[in-house]
Amino acid sequence: MTGLHHNLTETASDAAIDTACRVLRLPTMRAQFPDLVARAEREQLSYRGFLAELLMSECEDRDRRRSERRIRAAGFPRQKWLSDFDYSANPNVVPAVVNNLATCDWVKKGEPLCLIGDSGTGKSHLLIGLGTAAAMAGCRVRYALAAKLVNELVEAADEKQLSKTIARYGRVDLLCIDELGYLELDRRGAEMLFQVLTEREEKNSVAIASNESFGGWTKTFTDPRLCAAIVDRLTFNGTIIETGTESYRLAQTKARTAKTNTRSA
């Protein structure tokens, strides 16, 4: 083991630190070192204080990058944050309930979540926002449109890969299924979706967004017994949020149109 190098010039020390950060794969320490040195000298930080600041900056940035990778891996179609949800536009949604869900305890317990309401009432916003919160909390998340998920399962079955595909969807901590209830599913597709839900039952969470109340799900799942079993899987020990019937997007459009007409007049 080599000894410590003494009497290095500042330039040589900076070069050595830069090289070491590259070798040890510490990009944040490498990037922030000059600024942190300057602040340490300015604020007269102790050696321990300076080292703690340097290491914490690397840890925090690694956490951020891991969160970003999990969010990308989830496959969300667009960014939606819970902090941007307009509760005043939809009084049906209770902030305290959403804030409690944002802790992600329900995901850790493997509990389901159902968001039920008409188009434009914020279901997808909440679904993606809560999925994003779960990814940031360290959970493996996957987002899928219901129709695309069923199509993928059917194709996997045709290629003798159904078990692998179901297992892949079974492993994630939270599966977000959007637009459930928009299209009627044939019996084969519905049964495959049921297999995914069964694979995850009471182990890993499922969150769904649907424009149909549970009573209307027989239009999507035409077999009454299968429909009842799916509703049971998605509601047992779960949370149900009804976002209502008043479209937030439609209200915004009407407000903009009214404002434009007023200006024109």
Encoded amino acid at 133, one letter: A
What's the pLDDT score for residue 206?
Answer: 96
Q: What is the pLDDT of residue 1?
A: 43
b/e string for 216-247 if b means 16 or more Cβ within 10 A?
ebbebbeeeebbeebbebbeeebbebebbeeb
The three-class DSSP label of residue 195 is helix
Q: Which of 147-151, 166-170, 261-265 has the lowest mean pLDDT?
A: 261-265
Distances (CA, A) of 254 to 44, 85, 93, 245, 258: 59, 19, 22, 16, 6
Give the mean pLDDT of the chain: 87
CATH of 75-251, one of 3.40.50.300, 3.40.50.720, 3.40.50.150, 2.40.30.10: 3.40.50.300
For the chain, the domains span 11-71, 75-251
Tell the residue number behind the tokens 């916003």, with chain if given. Answer: 125
Confidence band of 114 (pLDDT split at 50, 70, 90): very high
Query: Which residue would you say has higher pLDDT here, 235 or 263?
Result: 235
Quote the pLDDT of residue 253.
Answer: 63
DSSP 115: E
Tell me: the pLDDT tens digits for 152-193? 999 999 999 999 999 999 999 999 999 998 778 888 888 999
* Helices assigned H by DSSP within the chain: 10-23, 27-43, 47-74, 95-101, 105-108, 123-136, 146-158, 162-171, 187-200, 224-235, 248-264
> Could you report the per-residue pLDDT of 68-82, keeping only the tens digit for each?
999 999 999 999 999
Whether residue 255 is predicted with pLDDT greater than 60 in this model: the reply is: no
Tens of pLDDT, residue by residue over 51-71, are 888 888 888 888 888 989 999
